[in-house]
Amino acid sequence: MKVSGFSFIRDGIRLGYPFVESIRSALPVCDEFVVAVGRGDDGTLQCLRDMNEPKLRLVETTWNEACRSHGFVYGQQKMIAQYNCTGDWAFYLEGDEVLHEDDTARLRAAMAHYLDDREVEALAFDYIHFYGDAGHVHHASQAYRKACRIIRNSIRTIAPDGLYWAVIRDRTWHGGRNKRRTRYPRAAALNIPIYHYGNARHARYVQAKADIGNQYWSEKQAFGAGYGRIDPQQISVFEGEHPAIMSDWLDAHANPSFEFDPDHRLTSRERKHRWLARLEAITGRDFSKRHFQLIRSWDGQPGA
């Protein structure tokens, strides 16, 4: 079994992403790691070169500055990196996502377990979304709670944006004509977390994101609104342990703390998710968005 890790990054230093920590967290389960590195001037490319990592392969790219359609530039960069992967599985991590060292053996075992199970096209992680600082998490259905980050590298897929994949399929219609359609991949839930630090970055990086990040979305994203303007019922205290590799980053680049804005008024979307939270408590269902079809659930241990 060969596993290819991959990611994309641009302005990683300027925006405070833990992209080096992200890559290093995945290297124990990968045989190679491909990064599409967008042209920039903040030293991100040199930082990756200075890792001196034999598994690392860098692909230099130029971003399409004219594309403003719902993060499709991110999808383009994601696919550039994936198209350079040669493994049986392609393991995608964004520059603010980290794998815990305690989970690497189980993850490698899960990939081996499903390698010959061709019905399983992707593997889905649980998500811990830090919010405001590294001591709080965004748990509401408004944030995706599970997402596929591993895809079988022998099937035809596209990335509409940086978050998910769509599987391309051919359908034969009357008259023998083929029509291509897409669907979400069939996935196994790994019951392994990904630690997502994008919204735990220091507020100065959030403002930097506001200054340069909105252009890649057709609707303006509220990157510069700060952390406090959120429904307090969507936030809970983090009671686990961070990946050990994040120790220095947390000291230097994480937001030290945050406070809720007492003048914040609930948006219509937040009111909707308050109602969904009540329904979840009553029914036991998960109403968060999923970009996959769940067909398996992994509960094995290393070597199982």
> 226-278, pLDDT tens digit by residue?
788 999 999 999 999 999 999 999 999 999 998 999 999 999 999 999 999 99
The verdict on residue 88 lying in a domain is yes
User: What's the CA dihedral at 108, 246, 86, 1 to 10 degrees?
Assistant: -10
Provide the domain limits for residue 137: 3-297
The verdict on residue 251 lying in a domain is yes
pLDDT band at 221 (very low <50, low <70, confident <90, very high): very low
CATH code where residue 65 lies? 3.90.550
* Segment of 34-38, 61-65, 162-166 carrying the highest mean pLDDT: 34-38
In whole angstroms, give the CA distance from residue 157 to residue 26. 22
pLDDT, one tens digit per residue, over 173-192 is: 555 566 778 999 999 999 99
The verdict on residue 302 lying in a domain is no
Quickly tell me which residue has 């990904």 as its tokens.
194
From the list 89, 90, 92, 88, the residue with the least C-alpha distance to 22 is 92
Calculate what percentage of the chain has a pLDDT beyond 90: 76
Q: What is the pTM of this model?
A: 0.93
Provide the number of structural domains found in the chain. 1
The verdict on residue 220 lying in a domain is yes
In whole angstroms, give the CA distance from residue 279 to residue 296. 25
The verdict on residue 303 lying in a domain is no
pLDDT higher than 60, residue 210: yes
The verdict on residue 122 lying in a domain is yes
The verdict on residue 272 lying in a domain is yes
The verdict on residue 218 lying in a domain is yes
Q: How is residue 222 written in tokens?
A: 């509220």
